[in-house]
Chains A and B, each alone.
Chain A
């Protein structure tokens, strides 16, 4: 009997952070945290729970990150009160990584951009899309406010070690097929609880064909398959990204640690994905797993009232460039509103400097500052009864973007931009 047993990438990161040589699926462990994150919706209740846990100092004032990004710039008085509570908590606890409106971006685009998360980290965040950082080879997962409070107090959190599904990616995606199409087609295949309690571990030669932005989008929506986390192996592209995005926060040093799954690690199942066979994919109401290819969708002539391009899923600069490529010299269709939301101030600035902003405004789009607003029906594009949106966000649940009888179709920036131009769900390949 040996105490060495093969582990998945996720299991190795968790074991290292729990001070253990080996962990097995189902085991309860306590792991140290590199980052504990909250926003303007989850931070204020976490602050209340933190005081109930005895208050005092947070475990490390550089490792708590607070991002007022959801209802900001404040949409109403109650939202302003939440932001104020978050700001006061940050000030009282001396939290270094509190980012005010004007600096802050949508958290899951912002943290990697600012180098606040690196390979090998363990991150919990009071936001379900915290799983995004798996793109960097980190273990990251969403939790509720009380868990955030516990993380801020102890610098540790309990986890049940997950088993994993291995997704072997092969080949290269075709033109207009992006990370969004990869993850939507996977969720369509395995279902919205297809990876419940499990890790989604990506592997195969197809990984190298995916940009970091594609990987962020894919890891971001692991939660939409019920997963605890989604994670990519660390490769040249990861290392280049990390080198280009150093952490400059005062007193916070980040040291990437590369973990790789053992060759003989056990997986609950293995799913092969041929990237070259994928088509742009759209999730119809009201589940992210309710997918059709753009060819099936376009044949249905689905009229839209609004297109939203942005969010933690698809608000990165490459998403903006894709939208600009399609919108350049064109106009948004009559009767359609197109709302474009770059995810961070840096991306906003890049859009201005590199000409995307001008293209958007000339095409008749709204060009918004960073905010999560429209994704969950908060502000900046709420839908009325009977209205229909194509959106690059991550959820199309009943009432997600507004009225319970409004509809959301999830798609890539290319599909959303092409649909904004025609007014119906459109294959970008037929437009350009």
Chain B
């Protein structure tokens, strides 16, 4: 049995080195808060970096061994999306992140695979970087946010990006960065994350389906982090909304629920009941193992968490822990 983790982040060593002693990395800095915790600073935004974020690849591998994770599909820290910065800066940080991830994967090809980050504020630049990492660096795809400076991904300007991703066979992993849809209402209790991430994923599912992206790109490969959020649970009401649209005005020939199986979903749902529900709704061949390494919202002991479940069969566990990703990504 193997385990392949589709949701594991990298805060690249080049950032840690450049920001040591108050230095800058493409204008981004780092400082320690009153309790000695590392904080990433980019313009007015601040992101707390957990202790493991600074670990070297060797330290990461030791932790993976402890957790029972054979392969991490690496993706950059979402704090480095940099969509709000000038395109040139986002291009430069994307290239730096992607090159370092590539170095990790080429050094330890049995332990790592690669997802990149892209300057999504400029679709042409995003396509160019996606081509570079897919064709030259043999990446498996890229991770992007649910919204690009307030825009959803069903905007017509992103259709060429989706076409390129489809043609390149890239897996696109959706993962929030910064504020979520909940942030304007309430910032307390970690709700922008604990509810907002799940809401953002649901909005992304709906915008890609209703916006016609999934119809326009039948071979597109998309994975939703955090189990796709509330999508599988709330799909009944989303279907009801579709039924309420007069037939002549419907863009999709079939209800949204029929698109559930067009996507992949990571397993980060925290309870066995929720994972069982997700499997029953989308099919076990669509659920893939994820951990959210190295953040505090990561699943604790993610491999054994799945292994000990009584309501999931061994065949289902194998599919989730490695077989689905082995087939999807060729690793």
- A and B are partners in one complex rather than unrelated chains: no
